[in-house]
Copies of this chain bind each other. A is one copy, B any other.
């Protein structure tokens, strides 16, 4: 595509002035003038969450004590349904609890339970380590072959044709893939990949960690089967907050294997036999982490208030500007862009490749720009429109340019 004109800092400032979501930046604690471009790693603290957690600690745990369970007991499904509305999932299909990795493990077993004849499980190439570890562990337990789905180019997303080829012989039970790649930010086509897998008799287990709260999602409409996702990145729920798990209603017979009292149909009957809940509550296991769930609730509330359409629009504009700025300023200096050029095929972080990636991130930090490095050669800059400014992104590109030109 033809090169766009390089945006200037004045352009970035103008975009900030026109940003309909700019007012949300003040809803976060302590950002002040800093450029925090790691919303894809640990989202900053919303002020409302600080208040909610303090009130829970003092009045809930500290005040109501055990009676607090009257309002906490259904948080995993109440917050789950609210997350569901954000990701295009009808009620009764999403819960929040456990870590992303535990959710992956549970849902991979659940998916495979519906395919006792499967001989293989597939995982996208260069998938996030914990996803690969889960796949390898489950495959070893179930004596399945692990197949790697090649990506669309070295940096691209998992694509429908590659999934079709990987699953062509009908041996694959479940394909595990991130919707948005943690490294390059490449974003898959959920509907097309799902259809390709289904045509070969496989389900897709999506890892939405770099997608939820970042890009518009329509799980039900796009034919999603199973999904997990992290809430402490773009949903701003704090370090180690519980993860989401989605199981499409048509797959309600696919049970996860950790039988716990929160997945039991009548939890306090203390019945002798485990009888699974008919809906997503079967995905629950043990006592839910109450504070973490309240933080997820507040994070989602901020997204609802901003509106998914506005978030998507501003998010796209931020990615376009940082892409254009990096193209103009950094490509001549030996930087490559790992993130796809197609706005529909990327998430909300820009990945730059350069051999001195680590030194570049350190140099940015000295300028007060917080970004991160992924070995060996990637710098990631996340655009989280709830709190990221256009000038933050512009300053990051300019900082890299100055360092490389020095």
Q: Is the CB of A136 within 8 A of B65?
A: no
A127 to B132, CA, bound (A): 36
A101 to B262, CA, bound (A): 10
Q: Is the CB of B102 within 8 A of A30?
A: no
Partner of A105 from B58, B241, B243, B258 at Cβ < 8 Å: B258
CB-defined contacts of A292 to chain B, threshold 8 Å: 240, 289, 291-292
Q: Is the CB of A129 within 8 A of B264?
A: yes
Within 8 A of B (CB), among A275-306: 285-293
Q: Is the CB of A291 within 8 A of B257?
A: no
Within 8 A of B (CB), among A126-153: 129-130, 132-134, 136-137, 141
CB-defined contacts of A263 to chain B, threshold 8 Å: 133
Chain A interface residue count, Cβ-Cβ cutoff 8 angstroms: 75
Q: What is the minimal beta-carbon distance from A244 to any residue of chain B, in angstroms?
A: 13
Q: Is the CB of B286 within 8 A of A289?
A: no
Q: A176 in the interface, Cβ–Cβ < 8 Å? A: no
Listed in ascending order, the chain A residues whose CB lies under 8 Å from chain B are 29-30, 36, 38, 41-42, 44-45, 49-50, 53-54, 57-58, 60-63, 65-66, 68-69, 72, 97-102, 105, 129-130, 132-134, 136-137, 141, 230, 232, 238-243, 257-264, 267-274, 285-293, 370, 372, 374-375
Given contacts A105-B259, A291-B292, 20 further A-B contacts (CB under 8 A): A30-B63, A38-B65, A42-B68, A44-B62, A50-B57, A66-B372, A97-B99, A98-B98, A98-B102, A99-B287, A101-B261, A101-B286, A102-B285, A105-B285, A129-B271, A240-B292, A242-B289, A243-B286, A270-B374, A289-B292
